[in-house]
Chain A
Amino acid sequence: MDLIEIFLTTGFWAATIRIVSPLIFATLGELICERAGVLNLGIEGIMTIGAMAGWMWVYQGGDLWTGVMFAALVGGTFGLVHSIFTVYLGLSQHVTGIGVTMFASSLSYFIYRMMLPDATTPPKIIPFQTYPIPGLSELPIVGEAVFTQTPMTYLALLCVPIVWYMLYRTPVGLAVRMAGENPVAVEAQGIDVLAIRTGAVVVGSGLMAVGGAFITMSAFDAFFFGMINGRGWIAIALVVFASWRPGKALLGAVLFAGLEAFQVRAQQVAGASILPYQFYLMLPYLLSIVAMVIMARRARYPKALLVPYRRGERV
């Protein structure tokens, strides 16, 4: 099989959509936080604890969908911690985020070990199964690639228009975007900037955690150590690449996932004859850096990103 032929297989497109799902959740989550003016470097840890919490819920006998909700709730709680530090106390968003990541991921591993002290091979759950959408799934290529996925993938794809609508067509969305651009103007409208920012960070963190949960509850069926493997950081790069727009975030994530799906297949086709496997694995990280560099010149950061807001203080 030729390398070009990979793009013609439905398997490639189906894999792309599968890989893109957690990235969509995570990227949208980070996008909401940053649009409100708060950089959330807790993302990597929040995804880890989301992956653990959702999986553990199901492993303990819970239902899959309540597991997703539980993951979102746990993620939102860590988002609340992040916003108490960065929004209410105005502490460094960088250091707090790193602290949240360290705390959340180590706590995930601790809880996992506490609940399963003797597990040598990671135990499995019955994850979300593919649910072909009647009618649509019979379409050529698209039917199998997009409409024969698990319900969580559909949820991810649905989140893009929902987040877009919320941000651009509702008063709450306007307040969120203003909180990230010009918080004084938000205050002038009689809206509580701190509450808006906190809400955005909590909701965004919930989405990140659902992205993590996708990995243990839909893509795989078990929780491993180091399973998120930098996906959170990649999502942050994708937010920059997307210029903080949900539609472009989807585009960037699909591009990224496509290249990821391609490299896995290229590895099988071309094998180690061209490149050792480590270099294939480097590609996603290299691409994220390249993506940031390409868009950086045109990047229009939310003006109040990283700037804590204190009521009554002149800017």
Chain B
Amino acid sequence: MGKTITEKILAKSAKKETVVPSENVWLNVDLLMTHDVCGPPTIQIWKDEFGDKAKVWDKNKVAIFPDHYIYTKDEHAKRNVDILRNFAKEHNLPYYFDVGTTRYKGVCHVALAEEGFNIPGTVMFGTDSHTCTSGAFGLFSTGVGNTDAAFILGTGKIWEKVPESIKFTFDSEMPAYLTAKDLILKILGELTTDGATYCALEFDGEAISSMEMYERMTLTNMAIEVGAMNGIIAPDEKTKEFLHKIKTVEYEEFFSDTDANYLSQHNFNVDELEPLVAKPHSPDNTDTVKNVQGTKITKCYIGSCTGGKISDYKFAAQILFDRKVKTPTFIIPSTTNVAEQMEAETYKGKTLTDIFSDAGCSMAPPSCAACLGGPIDTTGRSVDNDVVISTTNRNFPGRMGSKKSEVFLASPLTVAASAINGVITDPREFLT
């Protein structure tokens, strides 16, 4: 029996010939990522357990990105960044990206890709559920809590149950009105939020092969929303090209065998799919945009690890070009790199930044911002009975702030089209 890419990577990490689904194995971790929300308690547990004189297991394998609560007056949030800064200084950590310096990056999952940490064939753990995003580069990556992270920080090892794999094949060429967000919402609608608990999601097919890396990351990013342990896309030329623009790096590529065993396999023809939304209050409460068209909205949000990448802004710009938004629209790029690309990237001769600014959007500096609500002074946070349409990943009750607000999740095309009309709108109305 053949093996999946996930099984092969985990076997290598566990230093075993082969691993089988449901088996618990001890893995050797190649990278540990943490941020300002879960980093401080992780560091505290690590100190409590390993003692004051403890050393980080490998300082070249730890990346710390303050990104969640950055532009806030909240004193406790500031203290958390201070804890990270002091820890990085004390242990001389090379990969700490401090707030208020030119090293600041922003949202960890996008920054990991842009800083060249997503190395195919490796194993990454992070104290954030969306750590699965990195799997777009053909590596195993998953989220853990503070205790697990503290254990890794001291030992470089952690136990994990080998997941069964579920395969999604997307055939045909992506139509102009569709994005990776619509594809993952399609999967969520079919599998629901616990349809892949403890599983690996593997994506392939013509539509995936022709997708740029940032778009692929949208698929693996929301694997956690289906309950999955990891999402993964086999490495190819696009992976190599993205990585080699950042640094020269040798890596081992793994691919699923043709006779590998899958819990289930799902095939879609992308030209038969249409723009989707997830209605309040769950990412699996999906419907076509057409069916909810006309729903009045009070806020539009384009940002986060899911929907604040340069690919997302390229989509939004196609619709916002030379138009004005009717509803307050927040553009919060995930990283400083994405923000720089928005200044350089043009559509019909105009930079994306100018397109958004001329359309009347509010722009804010890179961070997780209102995707998860955050402190009360967070830009774009939902208030009272706000009805928000957002490119983010979760719409659980209160996720973006107010417990009374409602959040629709959609693609950047759909959010931009809705911003123009002030009501939920199918992007096909503007794409001719």
Chain B associates with chain A: no
